[in-house]
């Protein structure tokens, strides 16, 4: 007799007429059901309640801060000449997140425009001319995959199987250098005065179902096997925590404007950027690129990837409770527009791609619209549009959105919109 097999997952729906009516919970609602009408009540009452719903039902409890130290080798700063002779500073540091024997080491790579000021002492308010805004993003295949610069340290961490990325026996090789460079246009951004920081997500939580024992969760004293509590964080919670720890270090650098660090992420790491921005309001701007299900896309819309599919294929990303909403998305007390609303009143940018139907571009757009009342409480414009803009057109003042022509990816065109938006919304303090 064959072992009991799980029932097959339903085929994804790509028919807009089959989505049905979607009624969303109000993101401005507090714990007693009252919808708040002021920015103050949002901050004090509704936001904490909505954040707790996301913790309980989707991402798991937030993890507490821990000290970050620079591990052996210190901080390496090298003057480099990037493509086109662009002068920049390449910074590499190995950070120890937390303490104790199980603390994880994370390699951080940062490029800075060469002119960035080394202010004598970082002031408490942070900003000021000369210090640069920075985009911080976790990556999928190691820092060395983000750019062809041969001075980038080759990651020795476990990597998922990926022949095209030069991964052999789950380790990067010299052939892995620069394989994802199209996703991280350093020259274009450094040339516009931005710093670019990145770290490998697998240094924080190896992206596999059994990655928990090799993750930061061990040193944080979290359970890593057996039955987990329903609100136990998984990889996304751990990655978001890691982004905050990297931020702890970034803001100590004299060249970095601590009031202008934007968190960015693509796909699963876009889900992570949104959660990191929700948990840590020090991120001055939040950018989600093609983050889809469990990211910017509404779970209640049955279009593309579903809660059933994502929690089956990636059981380690969310808290266990989320899988319980497979096929019951309409019973969730929150939805992904509440996640987007957590960014308010800070600038939020959501981007989709025309061919990335798996991530439900329309669901991402509608979530940004549905999150917008949170910005209006602050007298700021949300995304006020009935239909998505034409492809490759960016709309929105404080909540930005575009759909890039093409496939699931993060490309120079996307980054150009992000930098335009950042230039407008997080200008340097005068």
Q: How far is the CB of 171 from ligand GTR (least distance, A)?
A: 21
Point out the catalytic residue in the list 215, 267, 288, 394: 267
Beta bridge partners of 110: 91, 197
Nearer to ligand GTR, 60 or 292 (CB): 292
CB of 415 to ligand GTR, least distance (A): 17
CB 307 within 8 A of CB 360: no
With a CB cutoff of 8 Å and minimum separation 6, the contacts of 43 are none
Q: Closest separation between CB of residue 8 and ligand GTR, Å?
A: 17
Annotated catalytic residue 337: no
* CA distances, 255 to each of 111, 115, 260, 403 (Å): 11, 9, 11, 33
Helix, strand, coil percentages for the chain (3-state, nearest 5): 30, 20, 50
Beta strands 104-113 and 132-139: pairing type?
unpaired
Lateral strand order in the sheet of 68-82:
68-82, 86-97, 104-113, 195-200, 132-139, 256-266, 285-289, 348-353, 399-404
The nearer residue to ligand GTR, 49 or 208, going by C-beta atoms, is 208
Between 195 and 292, CB nearer to ligand GTR: 292
By C-beta, is 55 or 305 nearer to ligand GTR? 305
Q: Categorise residue 273: left if φ over 0, alpha if ψ from -120 to 50, beta otherwise.
A: alpha
| Nearest-approach distance from CB 304 to ligand GTR, in angstroms | 9
Closest to ligand GTR by CB, 130 or 160: 160
- Residue 290 C-beta: closest distance to ligand GTR, Å: 8
Cα atoms found within 13 Å of the Cα of residue 217, Cβ hemisphere only = 28
Note if 267 is an active site residue. yes
Interface contacts to ligand GTR, rule CB under 6 A: 267-268, 292-293, 305, 310
**Residue 281: C-alpha distances to residues 284, 345, 346, 356 (Å):** 7, 10, 8, 29
Could you give the CA distance from residue 399 to residue 417 in angstroms, rounded to a whole number? 12
Closer Cβ to ligand GTR, 98 or 202, answer by number: 202
- Cα separation, 340 vs 359, in Å, equals 16
> Minimum distance from CB of 310 to ligand GTR (Å)?
5
The catalytic site residues sit at 267, 408
């Amino acid at each position: 007799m064959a072992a009991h097999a799980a029932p097959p997952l339903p085929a994804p729906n790509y028919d807009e007429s089959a989505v049905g009516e979607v009624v969303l919970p109000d993101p401005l609602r507090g714990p007693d059901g009252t919808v708040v009408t002021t920015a103050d009540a949002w901050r004090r009452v509704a936001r904490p309640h909505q954040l707790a719903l996301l913790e309980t039902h989707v991402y798991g409890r937030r993890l507490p801060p821990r000290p970050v130290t620079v591990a052996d080798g210190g901080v390496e700063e090298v003057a480099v000449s990037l493509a086109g002779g662009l002068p920049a500073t390449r910074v590499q540091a190995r950070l120890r997140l937390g303490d104790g024997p199980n603390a994880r080491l994370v390699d951080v790579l940062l490029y800075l425009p060469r002119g960035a000021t080394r202010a004598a002492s970082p002031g408490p308010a942070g900003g000021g001319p000369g210090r640069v805004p920075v985009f911080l993003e976790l990556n999928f295949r190691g820092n060395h995959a983000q750019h062809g610069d041969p001075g980038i340290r080759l990651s020795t961490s476990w990597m998922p199987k990926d022949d095209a990325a030069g991964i052999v026996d789950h380790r990067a090789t010299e052939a892995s250098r620069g394989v994802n460079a199209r996703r991280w246009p350093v020259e274009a951004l450094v040339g516009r005065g931005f710093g670019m920081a990145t770290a490998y997500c697998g240094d924080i939580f190896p992206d596999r179902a059994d990655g928990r024992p090799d993750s930061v969760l061990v040193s944080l004293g979290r359970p890593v096997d057996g039955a987990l509590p329903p609100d136990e964080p998984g990889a996304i919670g751990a990655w978001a925590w890691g982004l905050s720890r990297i931020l702890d270090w970034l803001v100590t650098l004299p060249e970095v404007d601590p009031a202008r660090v934007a968190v960015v992420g693509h796909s699963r790491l876009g889900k992570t950027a949104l959660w990191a921005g929700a948990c840590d309001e020090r991120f001055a701007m939040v950018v989600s690129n093609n983050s889809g299900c469990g990211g910017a896309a509404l779970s209640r819309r049955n279009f593309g990837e579903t809660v059933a599919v994502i929690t089956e294929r990636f059981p380690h990303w969310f808290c266990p409770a989320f899988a319980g909403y497979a096929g019951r998305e309409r019973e969730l007390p929150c939805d992904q527009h509440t996640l987007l609303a957590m960014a308010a009143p800070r600038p939020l940018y959501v981007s989709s791609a025309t061919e990335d139907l798996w991530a439900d571009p329309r669901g991402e757009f509608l979530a940004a619209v549905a999150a917008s009342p949170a910005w209006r409480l602050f007298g700021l414009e949300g995304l006020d549009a009935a239909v998505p803009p034409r492809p490759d057109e960016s709309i929105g003042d404080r909540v930005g959105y575009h759909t890039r022509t093409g496939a699931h990816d993060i490309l120079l065109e996307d980054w150009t919109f992000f930098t335009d938006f950042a230039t407008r919304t997080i200008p340097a303090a005068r």
